[in-house]
Amino acid sequence: MTANSLTTLCITGQSNTHLTPIQQHQLHSDIVDDFLALQQGANAAGFELTIASSFRDFSRQALIWNNKFSGARAVFNQQQQQVDLSSLSAIEKCVAIMLYSALPGASRHHWGTDLDVFDKAAVADDYSLQLSPNEYQHGGPFAPLSEWLDAHLTEFGFYRPYKADLGGVAPELWHISHIKQSQLLSKLLTEQLLYDCISRSELLGKDAILANLPMLYQRFVTNVSPP
C-alpha cells in the first residue's frame, strides 16, 4: 500500500494507523501531547476535562447515518425537536441529518484530530451525557468549562470548528479540533475523494448524496469557523 493510499484511508475513516490509544479513546498521534497539556490546563482551572467521543471510523459513522436515514434513530432540528423524516425527500433527509451528524467519509472524527469534551466533575457519575447546546450554554453544567475553553483553547493549539451558525452544521460547543493537524487533513479531503468513497459505500440515500455532493460539501464539510 502506498503512502498516498494510506493517507486517503485515514482521511475517510477507513484506517486507524495514524492513531494512539489514550484514556479509552483514540487520538491522532501528533495531537496527544497538546491534548494532555490542554487537559492539565483545564485541571489547574478546576475542571475535569474528559473525552466523550473522539475517533469514529467510516463503518461506525455509516451505521449512525443509516439508522437516522431509515428512522431507526431520531433526527433533531436546532430547537432540539424531532424531525418528521417521512415528509421529506431523500436530499432533505440528508440535510436534516447533517445538521448534527457528519456524512460518512467526511466526518472530522475520522481524523483523530477532533473530539467532544465535557467536565466530568460538574455532574454525577450516573449523569446521562447528551452533548446538547443547553448543557454548554448559560445555566448548563458545562457552561463554566465552555467559557474557559473560549478563553484558552488556542493557547494549546485547539479551536471550535462549529462555534458559530454558518448555515451548515449546527453550533457544537463540545466539539474541539486540533488546529494544525485538522487543517492539514481538511485540505486533503477533496470533493472527488469523498465522491469516490461514498460511491463504493452502502449508505442510504447514496444517489441523492452523490447527485448533490457539491452543495453538501460546500455547506457542511468545508463550511467551518476559522481558528
Q: Give me the domains of the chain, ranges plus CATH numbers.
A: 3-221 (3.30.1380.10)
Whose CA is closest to 169, among 219, 213, 134, 215? 219
**Phi and psi dihedrals of 187, rounded to 5?**
-70, -25
pLDDT digits (tens, 9 = 90+) for 52-89: 999 999 999 999 999 999 999 999 999 889 999 999 99
The pTM assigned to this predicted structure is 0.95
Read off the C-alpha cell for 4: 498516498
Are the beta carbons of 75 and 81 closer than 8 angstroms? no
**CA pair distance 55, 115, nearest whole angstrom:** 7
Residue 5: the pLDDT is 59
Task: Report the mean per-residue pLDDT for the chain.
Answer: 96
Residue 3: the pLDDT is 41
Q: Compute the C-alpha angle 112/116/162, nearest 5°.
A: 95
Residues 6+ apart with CB under 8 A from 211: 91
Is a pLDDT exceeding 50 seen at residue 1? no
Whose CA is closest to 213, among 80, 85, 71, 104? 104
